[in-house]
């Protein structure tokens, strides 16, 4: 379990893919959205956002979403 509980607001997503680019850069050292641990799928009518099993909930993608489509809540430390 990661540091953050990440919430998504798909209605605010523009499909810019900044989140995917920053995640792929951070963890695969490439700017390749398909390797990101967050996957955004947009169509003219809809948007879906999901996280792969490899996501460690570091929250970095949230910091790079400028459209308010991702939010993070700090988890309480486990006892
Ligand atoms: S929380 Fe971290 S690991 Fe998960 S998708 Fe975002 S940047 Fe990638
Ligand atoms: S979640 Fe944010 S950063 Fe990712 S595609 Fe949507 S608007 Fe862009």
Q: What CATH number does the domain containing 48 carry?
A: 3.30.70.20
Structural domain of residue 46, as residue ranges?
4-74
How many C-beta neighbours within 10 Å does residue 14 have? Answer: 13
Q: Is residue 79 part of a domain?
A: no
Q: Contact at 8 Å (CB) between 23 and 61? A: yes
pTM: predicted TM-score of the whole model, two decimal places: 0.93
Distances (CA, A) of 6 to 13, 29, 31, 64: 14, 23, 22, 13
Q: Is residue 15 part of a domain?
A: yes
pLDDT digits (tens, 9 = 90+) for 22-45: 999 999 999 999 999 999 999 888
Q: Is the pLDDT of residue 2 over 90?
A: no
Distance CA 33, CA 40 (A): 9
Q: Is residue 38 part of a domain?
A: yes
Q: Is residue 19 part of a domain?
A: yes
Nearest ligand, CA 65: 2
Q: Is residue 45 part of a domain?
A: yes
- Minimum mean pLDDT range among 2-6, 42-46, 61-65, 67-71: 42-46
How many folded domains does the chain comprise?
1
Q: Which of 53, 71, 65 is nearest to 22 (CA)?
A: 65
Measured from CB, residues less than 6 Å from any atom of ligand 1 are 6, 23, 37-38, 51, 55-61
Residue nearest to atom 6 of ligand 2 (CA): 13
């Amino acid at each position: 379990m990661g540091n953050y509980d990440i919430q998504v607001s798909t209605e605010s997503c523009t499909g810019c893919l900044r989140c995917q680019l920053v995640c792929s850069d951070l963890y695969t050292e490439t700017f390749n959205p398909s390797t990101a641990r967050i996957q955004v799928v947009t169509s003219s009518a809809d948007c879906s956002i999901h996280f792969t099993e490899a996501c460690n909930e570091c929250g970095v993608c949230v910091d790079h979403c400028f459209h308010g489509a991702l939010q993070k809540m700090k988890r309480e430390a486990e006892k």
